[in-house]
């Protein structure tokens, strides 16, 4: 990865970040920099703490050690009103879409605008139509989530995530469970919206081929640590066994199939 020269070019900085659930260490001193205006992806096997990173950025969780800085502010040190103000600058596309099932497509996208602004209805209408046009679903504005395909629901969720013109959008496993055509559409939308709206995008994913096509920078996590970082080209040429196992989907390597446990025979004879 090309080193980011000044802290002014960073939107998010994570230094020495640790987080645990009880005795289980989820993040073990990771350092991640998110540059402004770029698409940065955090990859790794399931259970490595990728989504936890997003929750620490938004202040839903508090680190055990280290810090998360967003726009030069330490998230864990913000009071309630300051954290609320910071979150208004963030958009989130959840893994499930998380649309309100009883609201139409239009009302789902309008919801954050109504919640966080005092704009007149005429302006809200125009903004929602613009966002739906950007994701190709203006014609579906009256449909309910139950009437949408999985891919359409993700696109509505994306329109809602950018409804307030945030400085940053986070995507939690945006391609999971989608067919190849839908994946291609969502990939194009993420990259296009990032560049046209001047966003900073953070993806959490284990879809190697997809994210490599649209990301400027990649971080590979395993065992609560960052094992490699760089551009897609740098990672493809990495000699790290962790990275090669993950990128190539190898069943054997440092990432083990079995959760740590005592020998099976010993456990069966222990009763």
Task: Provide the residue ranges of all domains of the chain, joining segments of one domain with +.
Answer: 1-79+207-271
pLDDT tens digits, one per residue of 185-218: 888 888 988 998 889 999 998 777 778 888 999 9
* Residue 175: band (very low, low, confident or very high) from pLDDT cuts 50, 70, 90: confident
Dihedral sign from CA coordinates of 240, 45, 170, 232: positive
Task: Give yes or no for a contact between 103 and 111, defined as CB atoms under 8 angstroms apart.
Answer: yes
- Complete edge-to-edge strand list for the sheet that includes strand 90-93: 90-93, 168-172, 200-205, 39-43, 217-222, 225-230
- Quote the DSSP letter at residue 144: -
pLDDT tens digits, one per residue of 43-59: 887 777 888 999 999 99
**How big is the chain by its Cα radius of gyration, in Å?**
20
- Which run of H or E residues covers position 267? helix 264-268
Q: Which of 41, 65, 92, 31 is nearest to 203 (CA)?
A: 41
pLDDT at 12 over 90: yes
Task: Give yes or no for a contact between 61 and 27, defined as CB atoms under 8 angstroms apart.
Answer: no
Comparison of pLDDT for 33 and 7, the residue scoring more:
33
Task: Give yes or no for a contact between 102 and 89, defined as CB atoms under 8 angstroms apart.
Answer: no
Pairing of strands 39-43, 200-205: parallel
Cα–Cα distance, 159 to 168 (Å, whole number) = 14
Cα–Cα distance, 50 to 102 (Å, whole number) = 30
Residue 2 pLDDT: 47
pLDDT tens digits, one per residue of 235-249: 777 777 667 666 666
Number of residues written out for the chain? 271
pLDDT tens digits, one per residue of 72-110: 899 999 999 999 899 989 988 887 668 888 999 999 999
Torsion of CA 39, 212, 94, 61, to 10 degrees: -70
Cα–Cα distance, 56 to 58 (Å, whole number) = 5
Q: What is the pTM for the complete model shown?
A: 0.81
pLDDT at 271 over 90: no
Cα–Cα distance, 67 to 53 (Å, whole number) = 11
* Residue 160: band (very low, low, confident or very high) from pLDDT cuts 50, 70, 90: very high
Mean pLDDT, the chain, rounded, equals: 85
Pairing of strands 200-205, 217-222: unpaired
- Which run of H or E residues covers position 156? helix 150-161
Q: Which fold has domain 1-79+207-271?
A: Rossmann fold (3.40.50)
Comparison of pLDDT for 251 and 89, the residue scoring more:
89
Comparison of pLDDT for 238 and 168, the residue scoring more:
168
Q: Where are the alpha helices (DSSP H) in 6-149?
A: 50-57, 80-87, 105-116, 121-134
Residue 4 pLDDT: 46
Residue 269 pLDDT: 76
pLDDT at 256 over 60: no
């Amino acid at each position: 990865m090309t080193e980011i020269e000044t802290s002014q070019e960073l939107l998010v900085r994570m230094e020495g970040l640790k987080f645990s659930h009880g005795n289980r260490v989820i993040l073990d001193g990771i350092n991640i920099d998110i540059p402004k205006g770029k698409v940065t992806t955090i990859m790794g096997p399931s259970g490595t703490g990728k989504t936890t990173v997003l929750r620490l950025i938004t202040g839903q969780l508090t680190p055990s050690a280290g810090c998360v800085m967003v726009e030069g502010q330490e998230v864990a040190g913000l009071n309630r009103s300051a954290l609320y103000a910071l979150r208004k600058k963030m958009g989130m596309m959840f893994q499930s879409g998380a649309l309100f099932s009883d609201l139409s497509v239009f009302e789902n996208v309008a919801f954050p605008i109504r919640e966080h602004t005092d704009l007149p209805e005429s302006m809200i209408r125009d903004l929602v139509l613009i966002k739906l046009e950007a994701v190709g679903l203006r014609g579906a504005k009256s449909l309910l989530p139950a009437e949408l395909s999985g891919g359409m629901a993700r696109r509505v969720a994306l329109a809602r995530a950018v409804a307030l013109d945030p400085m940053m959008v986070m995507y939690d496993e945006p391609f999971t469970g989608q067919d190849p055509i839908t994946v291609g559409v969502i990939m194009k939308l993420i990259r296009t919206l990032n560049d046209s709206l001047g966003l900073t995008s953070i993806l959490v994913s284990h879809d190697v081929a997809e994210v490599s096509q649209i990301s400027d920078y990649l971080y590979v996590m395993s065992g609560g640590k960052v094992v490699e970082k760089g551009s897609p080209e740098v990672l493809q040429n990495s000699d790290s066994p962790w990275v090669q196992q993950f990128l190539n989907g190898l069943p054997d390597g440092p990432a083990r199939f079995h959760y740590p446990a005592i020998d099976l025979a010993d456990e069966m004879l222990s009763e």
